[in-house]
Every structure is written in structure tokens, then in C-alpha cells.
Chains A and B, each alone.
Chain A
Amino acid sequence: MKGVRHYPGFLAMAVACLVILYAPLIVVTIYSFNGSTSITSWGGFSWRWYADVFTGPEAPRFKAAAWNSITIAVIAATSATAIAVAASLAMIRGGRFKGKSATFALINLPLMVPEIVIAVATLIFFSAIGLTTGYLTILIAHITFCIPFAYLPIAARLQGIEDAYEQAARDLYATRWQAFRLILMPLMMPGIISGFLLAFIISLDDFIITNFVKGAGMETLPTAIFGSVKQGIKPNIMAISTMMLAVSILFVTLSYYVNRIGQRTRS
């Protein structure tokens, strides 16, 4: 007799779930190594489309887009993480204060408002204040919507750290700043890294908002890929996709290990 945890067919469903999630990614990865120019027939294993991404006719465009994407993601994730660390100290360690629940709602607002609405509102705002859309407007928008993504793991981590550590430090003659820098920040680090990585990926991932506020001639990787895909899926796009896939998997693995280490130091 099988236990109450077992339901027939649930294993099949779980496997189906993974197949559905991974089949498209695996297929694209395989086809990115297709030696043929046609996307329908298999022409043997080849790196040619990876070479094409870096040296082909579209290479300068992709390089510029990748540069924009990465620099924006780094700056946006760093800023959002710094803002989120300060906010989490106030929200978790600040006790009760007036406007706390309103602040909580504010932090989570970017998660609740649909992306397309944020995109429209941001475009209207920049146009109203007369700021030309471009790198700066993308950056501002990214910092804004990255805040809750950075905040969530940082606040969760901080919540798990007893305030006795800081009190012990203060008791042992540390100033507020020393107690933060020497004790609390190292303990929060796994949360801070997770928050940064999450914000980084979310920024790198964004298409809709970026597409609204990027202005003419400015591209990030997603908008560049979207532009190419409009004319049909080409093999070089599959090569770029596969590389981005690898970066994502690298990041999630990294964040997973950071969390594991974090859990170990806590107990």
C-alpha cells in the first residue's frame, strides 16, 4: 500500500511539466549548433552561428546592445540593492512607525502594477518633463522596478538574523555604523547577493518597459533580439539565446549556492 502522499499520475504530470519547460530551450540550444543556413534542416554540428554573433554583419549591433544591457543591469542592480538594504533596515529593524504599511505597499508597487502600465506611465512621465528617452531613461526605469526584487531576499534574510548580534556589538562598544559594517552586513551578505543577482537578471530580462523608454537607435539585448525575430527566427538569434540561457543558469546556480552557504552559517 502506498502512503497518503502518493497520487497516481502526479509523477507523469511533474515530468510533463519539466518537458514543457525545457523542450523549447533544449531544441533552440541544439539548433544553435546547426551548421546549415536553413533553420529547418540539420546541417551537422558547427560553431558558425556563435562566430557569426561576434563577427557577422549584425555583430556591432549585438555588441552595443549587450554592452548597454550589461552596464544598465549592473548599475540598476547595484542602486536597487543599496536602496533595498537601507529600506530593509528601516522596515525590519525600525520598529513601528507611521506610514510603515504604506511604505511596504510602495516597495511592492512595481510588482503589482502590470508591466505594460508601468511602461506607458514611465514614457508619459519622461515625455512630460521633457527628458529625451535613451540610456538614462532606461536606467531610471530599471532601478525603479528592480527595488522590490532586491528587497525581498534581503528583507527575508534580515528577518532571520536576531538583533542580539547587533546588540552584542553595540554592547561591546561598536558604534551604529561599526555594528552594521562589521556584524550585520556580513550576516546579511547572502541576502544582499541574492537580491543583487535577482535584480540583475530582472533588469537584463526586461523587454516591455525598455522598449517603451529606450528611444530611437538605443538597443538592449532583448529589444535587439525582438527586432531581429520580427523578420523571422535566424540561427544567430538561437546562438545568442543559448548564451543568455547559459548566463541565466550560471546566475541561478550561483545564487543557489550563496543561499546554501548562508543557511549553513546561520545554524
Chain B
Amino acid sequence: MAGITPTPQGNGSGYRGIVGPLLIPTWAVIGIFLVLPVLLMAVYSFLTKEFRGGVVWDFTLAAYDQFFLNRGLFGDEPPVIEWTYITIFSRSIWQAAVATLICLIVGFPTAWFIATRPPQTRAIWLFLVTIPYWVNLLIRTVSLKFLIRENGPLNESLMSIGLITDPLPLVNTNLAVQLGLFYSYLPFMVLPIYAAVERYNFALSEAAADLYASRWVTLREIVLPVVKPGIIAGCILVFVPSLGAFLAPDLLGGAKTFMIGSLIDEQFRGSQGNWPFGAAAAMILMTLVLIVLTIYARAQARGEAK
């Protein structure tokens, strides 16, 4: 087509000239109360801790040193790698990954099932899956704890129907934390996959079936590659908040399931705290998340370029 179609927005709506004034509140609020604080946090991670909480303005690498290296009780031994915090971070990544996987295993069939319902039923299913997202996370986590605790309704009913003889020790285990994370973020997995499946052209499945592919081969060879962007989006939306989660590990886990969120939280509690160390741990967590998001954005951009 020759010539140019006019851009959909001319000066007719009249907002072109006042973009600046319209955005000043956003820039100011997020800039001053989020960007600036994060930058300040980066600075704090290089300061010296004060014993009653807070910092002394002496620049040092002590926080990061403490995180990665062990120089003995009095700090005079040759440094070896300090595993305590690396272990906590690895455990967090593991817990978040397992929770993401469980979400995917439950979420994908659910999303597929919902997206293949007739419009009326679909709306009801979607509505039902979204409600928990709107319910206070703390309340949901507390409810889950109440349900699965040692003499809670789950164990009671399992024992009463004779499936088990002794209560399952669920609370304070890795499994409980994973279950908590899964439960917290399941809707985040279902919704983007649902959106992807809804756009999926089912004629592709029919073509595959026509060309002798079985149902499950079709799922693996055709459906999954096509709806992959939705699946990846769902995984990111579950993994990222799980990594820094505080409530599920704190309420459902114990000392052995200590995760990043609790580690950071502890550094800002009273005189036991260590602000620079907490800031450093938060910086490392944020770096991890940014790496995941960058990889995602790259993959997304590549997918669109195709």
C-alpha cells in the first residue's frame, strides 16, 4: 500500500502537549519512594553495621564478605567459602523451583480444561480460580496451616477413613513450604496459560490428529511449543515471588526450611539485626530476580522477532 496511514492518535485527543505534567506524579512517587530507596539500599549494603540496628557511614565490603566468606570466629583465619547463606539461597531457589513445577503440573491441565469449556461455563471456572488471588495471602496461608497441622482436619479425616494410622507430620517440612508456595501462587500459573490456550488454534491439533499423531504426541509436539510463551510467563510469575516469599516459609516451615525472605527479615529485627548484611542479601536476591527477568525478556523478544 502506497502512502501512509495517519497514526491513530493525532493531537485531537490533546494529551500530547501535557505528557510531562501528567507523568510528574508517577515519576515523583515511584522515583522518590522506590527507585531512590533501592539505590540507597545498595549504598547501605556497603556501610558498617551499628549494633543497635542502623548503620555507621563507613564504607566497607564487610556485608558481602560475611555472606560469601568465612574468616573464622575472630576474623583472622584464611578465608574459606561460607556455605550458610549460599545454602539458604540455594534452598530458596530449590523450593521455588519445586513449587513452580507443582503449579505447572496442576495448572496446565486446569488452564486447558477451562479454556476448552463453552463461554458461559468458562466464565464461572475463571471466576472460581481468580477468587483466591483476591483473598488475603496471610489468611490463605494461615488457613492452609490450620488444615494440614498435626491434629488438623486433614490428618483427622485421613485417619478416620483409615488411610493412615498416625498423623502425617506435614508442618515444618520442606513439603509444607512447597505446598504453601504452590497454594499461594497457583492462580498466577493458571491465568497466563489460560490466555495462551484460549488463543490456540485447535485446527492445529486437528491437523496433527489427521496426520496420525496421538493425543499425547499432539500435546507434546504441537500444543506445548505453541503455548510455550504462556507457560513461561506462568512459571516466572510463580517463581519470582516464591523466591522472596516470607509468609509460607515463616508460618509453615521451621528452622530447616529457612528461606531468603526470613533471612532478610531477621536482619532488621531489633538489636540482633545487621542492616548492611540485610541490604546485601536483598541486593543479591534482587540481582537473581533481575537475571531471571532479563532472560525472560530476551526470550520473549526473540519469540516476537520470529
Contact = CB atoms under 8 A, between A and B. Distances in A.
Interface in A85-144: 86-87, 89-90, 93-95, 97, 103, 106-107, 109-110, 112-118, 120-125, 127-128, 140-141, 143-144
B33 A141 contact: yes
Among A5, A204, A207, the one with the most B-chain Cβ atoms within 10 Å of its Cβ is A5
B1 interface: no
Nearest to B210: A4
B98 interface: no
Contacts of B190: 17
A256 B127 contact: yes
A258 B243 CA distance: 34
Secondary structure dominating the interface of A: helix
Interface string A60-104: 000000000000000000000011101101100111010000010
B38 A24 contact: no
B215 interface: yes
Nearest to A205: B136
Interface residues of B, number: 94
Interface in B103-139: 106-107, 109-110, 112-114, 116, 125, 127-132, 134-139
Given A20-B186, A21-B132, A24-B146, A120 B23 contact: no
A144 B34 contact: yes
A211 B56 CA distance: 24
A172 interface: no
B180 to A, nearest CB: 10
Contacts of A39: 146
B49 interface: no
Among B7, B110, B116, B145, the one with the most A-chain Cβ atoms within 10 Å of its Cβ is B110
Interface string B75-88: 00000000000000
Contacts of A207: 137-138, 246-247
A89 B110 contact: no
Nearest to B209: A4
B41 interface: yes
Nearest to B151: A40
Contacts of B147: 23-24, 27-28
A59 interface: no
Contacts of A83: 25-26, 29
A107 B125 CA distance: 31
A229 interface: yes
Among A109, A208, A226, A233, the one with the most B-chain Cβ atoms within 10 Å of its Cβ is A208
A93 B17 CA distance: 10
Interface of A: 3-7, 9-11, 13-14, 16-18, 20-25, 27-28, 31, 39-40, 82-84, 86-87, 89-90, 93-95, 97, 103, 106-107, 109-110, 112-118, 120-125, 127-128, 140-141, 143-145, 147, 163, 166-167, 170-171, 176, 179, 201, 204-205, 207-208, 212, 222, 225-226, 229, 233, 237-238, 241, 244-245, 248-249, 251-252, 256
